[in-house]
């Protein structure tokens, strides 16, 4: 059974994500500088052949949930909330894709590189893309990647991400994407 949700429902879900994200950081934005970690754009592509390739483009934002934690030897750890909203295209079909979830960033003082990873409950506005059936509209997206601080407030990044329904649906083919990002850090 293929599910599809229209633009209206997708827009309502995006609004829900923004309200949820805002309620998590409301009050802290005024209380502490740097609660907003970064905002940016990501674009990615699957490693399938061109006829079966998927492309995802999204806007994203990350908020710091904790102060920078010193874990020794000039290494630091930061817990964040990551949210995204965008478009997934493949096999002749397009859909809204959005998610919000925890992330972890590890960095070292004076090193212009940080490692990021996380997992996000993810929503698709359709679960069928041609002959690729993701099973259900609810997915989980896990990711791991690296960000390079090229300018004082500008980062470029790469992450490998896997999206699947974690066995909650009848079909669970999953989707692996290579995502590239450009972001502004606050």
Block mean pLDDT (10 aa), the chain, length 186: 55 52 40 70 89 94 90 92 96 96 95 96 95 94 97 96 92 92 94
Residue-range domains of the chain with CATH:
7-54+62-185 (2.40.160.20)
pLDDT of residue 31: 29
End-to-end CA separation in angstroms for the chain: 44
Please identify which residue in the block is written with the tokens 């483009």: 57
76, 109 Cβ separation under 8 angstroms: yes
Q: Does the predicted model carry a pTM greater than 0.85?
A: no
| pLDDT value for 33 | 45
């Amino acid at each position: 059974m293929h599910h599809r949700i229209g633009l209206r429902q997708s827009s309502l879900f995006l609004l829900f994500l923004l309200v949820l994200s805002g309620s998590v950081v409301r009050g802290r934005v005024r209380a502490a500088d740097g609660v907003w970690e970064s905002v940016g754009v990501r674009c990615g592509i699957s490693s399938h052949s061109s006829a079966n390739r998927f492309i995802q483009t999204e806007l994203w934002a990350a908020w710091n949930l904790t102060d920078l934690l010193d874990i020794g030897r000039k290494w630091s750890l930061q817990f964040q909330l990551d949210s995204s909203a965008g478009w997934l295209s493949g096999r002749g079909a397009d859909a809204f894709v959005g998610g919000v979830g925890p992330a972890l960033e590890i960095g070292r003082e004076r090193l212009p590189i940080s490692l990021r990873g996380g997992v996000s409950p993810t929503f698709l506005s359709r679960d069928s893309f041609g002959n690729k059936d993701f099973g259900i509209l609810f997915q989980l997206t896990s990711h791991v990647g690296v960000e390079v601080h090229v300018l004082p407030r500008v980062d470029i990044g790469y992450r490998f991400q896997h999206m699947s329904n974690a066995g909650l649906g009848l079909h669970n083919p999953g989707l692996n994407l290579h995502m590239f990002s450009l972001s502004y850090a606050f």
